[in-house]
Structures are given as C-alpha cells and as structure tokens.
Amino acid sequence: MGVTRLKRKDRRNKARANNRVARIKQLLLTPVIKNVDMDELRVQFGEAPKNKVETAEAPAAQKEEAAAE
C-alpha cells in the first residue's frame, strides 16, 4: 500500500514554522547601543539643577537682584 503525501500541506506547515522562528528571532534581537558622550550631552542641554531647593531659590534671588537695581 502506497503512502500519499500531502505536498501543499507540508509546504504550508514548513512555511508556518519558518515564519514563527523568524518572528521569534526578530523579537529577541538586541538593539545596538552606541557609546554616548555624557559631557557633550551636558553641554548641549545645559547642566541640570542639583536639587529642587536650588531651583526654587534661583528665581527669588533674581527678583531680589532686579529690585535692588
């Protein structure tokens, strides 16, 4: 007795398996992380305030200086 092979179903199953493997590989890819020059970023964006107290005192000090002039 001969065995009949379902060629179209076989190709479809293999394609599904290959697509699944490709999708998993795509999800597992790690992004390329480039080296970042922190000093250059600081110059570009300006120095961040150290804490909130300094930022709250800065406008008050500027107003006092303006009033004194």
Decide if 43 is inside a domain.
yes
With a CB cutoff of 8 Å and minimum separation 6, the contacts of 49 are 55, 58
Query: Closest Cα to residue 26, out of 34, 36, 18?
Result: 18
Decide if 45 is inside a domain.
yes
Q: Could you give the number of structural domains in the chain? A: 1
- Determine contact, residues 55/49, Cβ cutoff 8 Å: yes
CA angle 38, 30, 19 (to 5 degrees): 155
Question: At residue 33, what are phi and psi to the nearest 5 degrees?
Answer: -105, 115
Q: Global pTM?
A: 0.41
What is the predicted pLDDT for the residue at 6? 94
What are the pLDDT tens digits along the chain (69 aa)?
678 889 999 999 999 999 999 999 999 998 877 888 888 888 888 776 666 665 556 666 666 666 666
Decide if 1 is inside a domain.
no
Q: Which domain holds residue 17?
A: 7-68
Decide if 25 is inside a domain.
yes
What is the predicted pLDDT for the residue at 10? 95
